[in-house]
Amino acid sequence: MRRMMMKYRTLGNTELEVSILSFGASSLGSVFGEIDESEGIRTVYEAIDLGINFIDVSPYYGLTKAETVLGKAIKNIPRDKFILSTKAGRYGENDFDFSSKRIIKSVDESLTRLQTDYIDILHLHDIEFVSLDQIIHESIPTLLELKKAGKIRFIGISGLPLKIFKVVSEQVPLDTILSYCHYTLNNTGLLTIEEEMRNKGIGIINASPLSMGLLTKKGPPDWHPASDEIKRVCRQAVQFCEEQGVAIEKLAVQFAVANDRIPTTLVGTANPKHIARNVAWIEEPIDMELVNQVREILKPIDQKIWLSGRKENN
């Protein structure tokens, strides 16, 4: 029995009704530290039980481990209970292949690992690392063929630079985009393209509301690509929230899901208690006075981001 009332929004022109908080399955691949597989599977069950119906994964996460663990979980869940998104094109830290042949093979491999007959949304993963000409003229046409074949229902692209979404969507049809670190307390750059995407019927999926650890008490991992200035200002905001007796993680998740122009926000965890806590947070009213104070601290770095991929794609 569902314990809380989840809200849902329509994802662009797909007619998919997605939960405003969705499940990022990267953690199932031990991306953020070793996990207990059975606990990871329980986390998926908990997410579904709490009304989360959108799950995102990739063969890149844990070098196929995340898809494998997720497949073990969802094989026991009725297929109409969740919307499944995975990716193609990125397979390792520096392993990119967006060729038609590899995408077709990748989708078949993902279907096997995920133990399902179809993928609801297939995103090309981190396209800023390759030529966008290939994405436009080879990769997207391949996805359209897979769509006709019934292996995938909708197609999209993912990556960090906002420029890639504008360039690609101007030349080929897209159903969705997956953007990360661009609708957070410290960076609302996603809003600069939101209207354009909406007018094209493209559904926006927001990821990493904690800015890959910048907006956490623990702080970002050593490998985080943000500048020293971004890290310093985010730390000031974290400390301010601590002084107010509020976890910045809570405020960040609440802020991300509050905007009805952003259909869904992905959060990743392999801990059932953490997913339940995240859902509980979004049930509580957001303290807008505190949000405004935190946003004022973060104002010097709003829309500041780091380079990712090829220079011309940023």
Catalytic residues: 61
> Residues 113, 84: contact at Cβ < 8 Å?
no
Would residue 208 be called left, alpha or beta, if left means φ above 0 and alpha means ψ between -120 and 50 degrees?
left
Of 41, 43, 107, nearest in space to 76 by CA = 41
**What is d(CA 55, CA 312) in angstroms, rounded to the nearest whole number?**
31
Which segments of the chain does DSSP mark as H helices, in order?
37-49, 65-74, 100-114, 132-134, 140-148, 163-169, 191-199, 228-243, 248-258, 272-283, 288-298
DSSP annotation of 291: H
User: Which residue do the tokens 């692209």 mark?
Assistant: 157
Structure tokens at 117: 């007959």
C-alpha distances (whole Å) from 14 to each of 2, 18, 286 are: 25, 10, 29
Of 158, 258, 240, 139, nearest in space to 205 by CA = 158
Q: Which residues pair with 38 in a beta bridge?
A: none
> Residues 161, 225: contact at Cβ < 8 Å?
no
Q: What angle (nearest 5°) sits at the alpha carbon of residue 152, between those of residues 147 and 153? A: 80
**What is d(CA 164, CA 237) in angstroms, rounded to the nearest whole number?**
30
Q: Which residues pair with 155 in a beta bridge?
A: 122
**What is d(CA 203, CA 240) in angstroms, rounded to the nearest whole number?**
34
- H or E segment and range at residue 171: none
